[in-house]
Chains A and B, each alone.
Chain A
Amino acid sequence: MAAVKETVDAVVELERYKYGFTSDVDTEFAPKGLNADIVRFISEKKGEPQWMLEWRLAAYERWLAMEEPTWASVRYEPVDYQDLHYYAAPKQKEGPKSLDEVDPELLEVYRKLGIPLKEQEVLAGVQGAPKVAVDAVFDSVSVVTTFKAELAKAGVIFMPISEALREHPELVRQYLGTVVPVSDNYFAALNSAVFSDGSFVYVPPGVRCPMELSTYFRINASQTGQFERTLIIADKGSYVSYLEGCTAPMRDENQLHAAVVELVALDDAEIKYSTVQNWYPGDAEGRGGIYNFVTKRADCRGDRSKVSWTQVETGSAVTWKYPSCLLKGEESSGEFYSIAITNGRQQADTGTKMVHLGKNSKSRIIAKAVSAGRSDSTYRGLVSVHPKATGVRNFTQCDSLLIGKECGSHTIPYIEARNGSAQLEHEATTTRLSEDQLFYAQQRGLSEEEAVALLVNGFVRDVLQELPMEFAVEAQKLVAISLEGSVG
């Protein structure tokens, strides 16, 4: 009986979205709705320079003139942009001077999320354990950034973008909006007008960032949109690895997350950007969950520069996301490794764009989609080769796995080749989980769910291997949890 009880408990535990708690943090809101005054309010709150306010207002004007895109294979209740708070911040009297001054409720949230914010905790850990510097963004503001001093020694700037706007305005101004222009798309324009925080990273020439950088995004307040903005610049010959994790409470309302991430890699620089996206996906009937409408783009400006995107997408009710690379530098290279898992009524339309502008630029795309329940998953990608880009090479592989009769899986890759010397290859397959393999695994004593988790982990292995160690373990568990209840 004990074993039965344990199993029941385990299942109950697994069915729960682990990060679905809300925390009672005293929060300051901007009034609902969006207008030029709200944009001014946010800019003033952040103590921004005048040029930044003007930039935001221009973005707001552009946004007003744009229409929400409808081409993605997703359906959702339209967002009422006037019924959202565009700014929510945990209340603090003064900026905290150290972690001890941060609201204990907040620290509790991060403890629950399993994110070590206290540097000593990390240091007290296993000898030689890799260090990770963390920037934690709670609703609209960054609450804490760790290891700043040690990073500064190496010359690396890692801080909330709101702080960077004050301390390094020249750097921010030089690069902000140069990869994703304000008018790039509807959500990018919205983000440009109202973004409140996010991370800023600058790695100076020749520096290999001494530790992984990481940001945890948390939407806590209800009826709030999160609009973070991340800007990472890797100067000549530098290297940085950046991790991003996201969670949100369970609510039966849909919340909007519209982020913009811009990466700039100069000559010989390399950026590795990894995401584990686990926003609340909504319940089994599709109530609630995050709308994840994100613009991520890397500009491989320098010769021999390299950007690698790795994403594990398991959360969100609706995902609309195409981390891309503009391969401008000669011999620059872009990589995209993706796992998208949808269950319940989730919808994901995700993929990448590799735009080859530089001679001998290379790209590689490995996308794995797993759909279960009544979910829908679409891979949408573009590989384009411009007339002057000779010697371009691309390899793309998209595999989809279907679990159950009511899900959908779609593959829409575009190839646009305008140069005779390009070599582009794309292959895609769609199948269901093999009955033979399931049977084999079950025969050897695994339960059906364990067998599914094992096989799916095998299916996505190529991508999991690209994740930094700390994330790989978490992601593997997440894969299993996301598929709970998808069989039988």
Chain B
Amino acid sequence: MTAQRLDLRDPSSFPSRRVEAWKYTDVRRLLRDTPPASPEAEVAPGGPFAALGGEELAFVNGRCEGFPGIVAKGRGEAPMRLRFVSTADGAGHQPEAAIEVTAGSRLVLLESHEGRAAGYVANTRLKISVGEGASLTRIVLGEDAADALAFVRAEVTLSPGATFEQVTATDGARLQRFETHVSHPGQGASVRMDGLYALSGERHADLTSVVTHAGLDGQTSQLVKGVVRDTARGVFQGKIVVERGADGTDARMAHNALILSERGEVDAKPELIIYADDVQCAHGNTVGTLDESALFYMQQRGLPAEEARALLTQAFLFEVVDRIEHDGAREGVREWLTARL
């Protein structure tokens, strides 16, 4: 079922909730036909990570002039900023990019999905490969418009000894999905794949991931946290597959969500599909609301209720932010999130 790939040119590929992998993100309900193609446009350099410097590559309405694909070599400290900007109202585009981190290299990729228009449809597809002993940190910010439909699908192939760290932070869209598929060869490769969502209004965000362990001694750790307000809807689908022979796999996954309104919704489906016996796999999944006794405690000590609530929510989500190793990226995401709480 995960084989179904959304292609804006082919309306028969628009999944409805009857497709199990899209059960909670029903594209067909909102999109039936191929949207008109987005026109060419330009944007000034910048974006949410501008302060961190480094090289910038911008896809505007799906196009990036003379884009050859990214090939990262060496262990430079400067990050690369990859921007996907939508500027045309009601139009659609489908950018594709390939990123290769060659053996032994290191890349910090700061990716942003920026909405500067209303009601657009963006379907971004990335192919990423991380070579032997190489390391990729991918920080993804979702800044889509409230009425946009935005889908991002990344296929990540790791080589033995590779390190892949990913954090996705988003405030949702009308319908938004970040999907990551990782092929994990084990043999010293390790994956950390975190995410956070802070949603309000009628926004929807879906973090979906599939990590397939095919070799010995692979490690995966995943922490996804989210907060929903108003009538927003958060979706988490995380699947860890351990194939036959992938012994020594150690995989942990946790998803924790807070619903801070009466009509907010959270749907979660963590999956463990395991065909090897010498493994340690676990997942935890909680949905709840703020701890009343903690709120009470803080108010007793003089904090107004609103402030106490904000502080607890922030502390809850910052756990994900704190796990980002790259200093600049971590503080950038923290700032971005603070502005949204």
Contacts and interface: CB of A to CB of B under 8 A. Distances in A.
B296 interface: no
A418 B263 contact: yes
A428 B20 contact: no
Contact of A403 (B277, B287, B289): B277
A415 B274 contact: no
B55 interface: no
A409 interface: yes
A307 interface: no
A393 B206 CA distance: 24
Interface in B256-286: 257, 259-286
Given A423-B289, A432-B278, A412 B265 contact: no
Given A419-B262, A429-B282, A413 B270 contact: yes
Interface residues of B, number: 36
Interface in A410-465: 410-432
B286 A425 contact: yes
Interface in B268-321: 268-289
| B interface majority secondary structure | strand
Given A417-B265, A419-B259, A430-B272, A407 B285 contact: no
B281 A417 contact: no
A136 interface: no
A76 B262 CA distance: 44
B191 to A, nearest CB: 18
Contacts, number: 115
Contacts of A420: 259-264, 289
A51 interface: no
A46 B277 CA distance: 51
B244 interface: yes
A407 B287 contact: no
Nearest to A432: B277
Nearest to B270: A413
B283 A415 contact: no
Given A420-B261, A424-B288, A426-B284, A414 B276 contact: no
Interface in B217-274: 244-245, 247, 257, 259-274
Interface in A174-231: none
Interface size class on chain A is 20 to 34
B192 to A, nearest CB: 20
Which of A71, A407, A410, A415 counts the most chain B CB atoms within 10 A? A415
Contacts of A407: 275, 277
Contacts of A432: 277-279
Contacts of A416: 265-267
Contacts of B268: 414-415
A413 B275 CA distance: 18
Nearest to A408: B275
A272 to B, nearest CB: 28
A389 to B, nearest CB: 11
A185 to B, nearest CB: 15
A122 B57 CA distance: 83
B282 A428 contact: yes
A429 B281 contact: yes
Given A417-B266, A419-B259, A431 B279 contact: yes
A430 B263 CA distance: 34
Given A422-B288, A427-B283, A429-B281, A415 B266 contact: yes
| A interface majority secondary structure | strand
A110 B42 CA distance: 83
A172 B282 CA distance: 45
Contacts of A414: 267-269
A47 interface: no
A413 B269 CA distance: 6
B288 A411 contact: no
Contacts of B279: 402, 430-432
B274 A422 contact: no
A410 B285 contact: no
B289 to A, nearest CB: 5
A169 interface: no
B274 A400 contact: yes
Contacts of A430: 272, 274, 279-282
Contacts of A429: 281-282
Contact of A427 (B274, B284, B288): B284
A411 B287 contact: no
B109 to A, nearest CB: 32
Interface in A267-296: none
B262 to A, nearest CB: 5
B287 A417 contact: yes
A405 interface: yes
Nearest to B20: A71
A415 B285 contact: yes
Nearest to A404: B277
Contacts of B283: 411, 426-428
B277 A426 contact: no
A425 B288 CA distance: 8
A428 B272 contact: yes
B272 A423 contact: no
A202 B275 CA distance: 45
A374 to B, nearest CB: 11
A372 B282 CA distance: 19
A155 interface: no
A422 B259 contact: yes
A406 interface: yes
Contacts of A424: 285-288
Interface in B168-206: none
A387 interface: yes
Contacts of B263: 387, 418-420
A71 B277 CA distance: 25
A402 B289 CA distance: 35
Contacts of B272: 400, 409-412, 428, 430
Nearest to A371: B277
B269 A410 contact: no
Which of A403, A407, A411, A427 counts the most chain B CB atoms within 10 A? A411
A417 B267 contact: yes
Contact of A431 (B267, B270, B280, B286): B280
Given A417-B259, A417-B266, A422-B259, A402 B274 contact: yes
A186 B271 CA distance: 26
A405 B245 CA distance: 8
Contacts of A418: 263-265
Contacts of A402: 274, 276-277, 279
Given A402-B279, A415-B287, A426-B286, 4 more contacts: A409-B272, A410-B272, A410-B273, A432-B278
25 contacts: A402-B277, A405-B244, A405-B276, A410-B272, A410-B273, A411-B270, A411-B271, A412-B272, A413-B270, A415-B267, A415-B285, A416-B265, A417-B259, A417-B266, A419-B262, A420-B260, A421-B262, A422-B259, A423-B289, A424-B285, A424-B286, A425-B284, A426-B270, A430-B280, A431-B280
Interface of A: 71, 387, 400, 402-432
Q: List 8 tightest A-B contacts by C-beta distance, closest first.
A: A402-B277, A420-B259, A426-B285, A432-B277, A423-B288, A430-B281, A411-B272, A417-B287
